[in-house]
Amino acid sequence: MLYAGNNQLTILPETLGQLSQLTELKLENNRLITLPSSLSKLNKLKRLEVSDNLLGSVTN
């Protein structure tokens, strides 16, 4: 699990997609506008929490 909530993050690195064993990613209460496309490589990810951010839409 990676918890990075409540940090006023505005951007996440594309290298986040290299954490192939990651099962939970908690990013709530930040200032994220987009998520890196590399998150689609996280095949073991079971839980993604992104509430209370500034996300507009999710793309493929």
Determine the straight-line distance between the first and last CA of the chain, rounded to whole angstroms: 23
Judge contact between 28 and 51, C-beta under 8 A: yes
Strands (E), the chain: 2-3, 24-26, 47-49
Alpha-carbon gap, residue 60 to 4, rounded angstroms? 23
- Give the 3-state secondary structure percentages of the chain, helix then strand then coil, rounded to 5: 15, 15, 70
Tokens of 49: 């929490």
pTM: 0.89
Q: What is the per-residue pLDDT across 4-55, written as a single tens digit (0 to 9) for each?
A: 999 999 999 999 999 999 999 999 999 999 999 999 999 999 999 999 999 9
